[in-house]
Amino acid sequence: MDKEKALWIYQKMNEIRYFEEEVRRTFGKGEIPGFVHLYAGEEAVATGVMALLEEEDYITSTHRGHGHAIAKGCDIKGMMAEIMGKKDGLGRGKGGSMHVADVEKGMLGANGIVGGGFGIAAGAALTIKTLKQEHVAVCFFGDGASNEGVFHEGLNLASILDLPVVFVCENNQFGEGTPFSYASASETVAERAVVYDMPGVRVDGMDVLEVYNATKEAIKRAKSGEGPSLIECDTYRHYGHFEGDEQKYKSDDDKNKDRDPIPEFKEKAIKKGWFTSEQADEIEAAAEKTVEEAVEFAQASALPDIDSLYEDVFA
């Protein structure tokens, strides 16, 4: 970690948080069609991983994908317009929140199918390996997805082919309203890596530095041809499964409930001398402005024309 990366991480964490707060407000006003699943609380995972990726590296995301997209460099105005279903959106307003994607940036898509990213990430990594490129593919997934069959297929395939892929589990302790402790026969997701002959580590997913260090190791392994790794990040989502969820399944005893990765990182970074509190204020103000401008842009953008109904739609 150096100053430059620490500043980048703090900027992206704030952009994600302000973005999600604005999506929440805008959804509440009825300006967003469909469902939204907010990433607030999990910012340390997306930023800790993405601080180590290049534009040519690939990621696959989930239904909770706004944070991944912002950290991978997707245009924030285009994202907000997409989520509002407008023609200037990244997917011309045809995909919405769960299909935010920008292949040019290596963001292979949010995904409404739980576990939908495993095969895509393994495929992207197979492309990298076949073309002898020095890149990696990162597959983000939730604890709920780890109980889908495709989790096992994806890890097994990546392992037998020594693919340069990093599987990053965001264990926010719930799949919709079902606690991971109830739904999983294993205590952790990380320990499942052993049967697929790859390293599996569990880190504090509210601590961006722990995520960063584990990712650094995994990328080193992937790029040196040693194959895939699994990282489980212990985290928590601040809001419901989707906007409107009453969250009756949550309790005051939930681990990480009262933690916020953004002030935690700010305090550490200032202590280490990576940035000052004045710089932090500037970053926070700039992130807020960026997001406000994105909302204005999206609100001013038109809905797609009816004549374009069948354009850009592949399935």
Ligand X SMILES: Cc1ncc(C[n+]2csc(CCOP(=O)(O)OP(=O)(O)O)c2C)c(N)n1
Residues engaged in binding ligand X (CB under 6 A): 62-64, 112-115, 142-145, 172, 174-176, 241
Which of these, 52, 65, 53, 67, lies nearest to 18 by C-alpha position?
67
Cβ atoms 229, 167 nearer than 8 A: yes
| CA–CA gap between residue 277 and residue 270 (Å, rounded) | 7
Min. distance of Cβ 148 from ligand X in angstroms?
6
- List CB contacts of 260: < 8 A, sequence separation 6 or more: 41, 206, 238
Min. distance of Cβ 176 from ligand X in angstroms?
5
Min. distance of Cβ 225 from ligand X in angstroms?
30
Q: Residue type for 229, please?
A: S
Nearer to ligand X, 78 or 240 (CB): 240
**Helix axis angle, 261-272 relative to 208-223, nearest 10°?**
80
Nearer to ligand X, 15 or 170 (CB): 170
Min. distance of Cβ 211 from ligand X in angstroms?
16
| CA–CA gap between residue 237 and residue 254 (Å, rounded) | 11
Nearer to ligand X, 18 or 180 (CB): 180
Nearer to ligand X, 151 or 297 (CB): 151
Closest residue to ligand X in the complex (CB): 142
Residue 31 phi, psi (nearest 5): -95, 0
Nearer to ligand X, 13 or 81 (CB): 13
Min. distance of Cβ 180 from ligand X in angstroms?
7
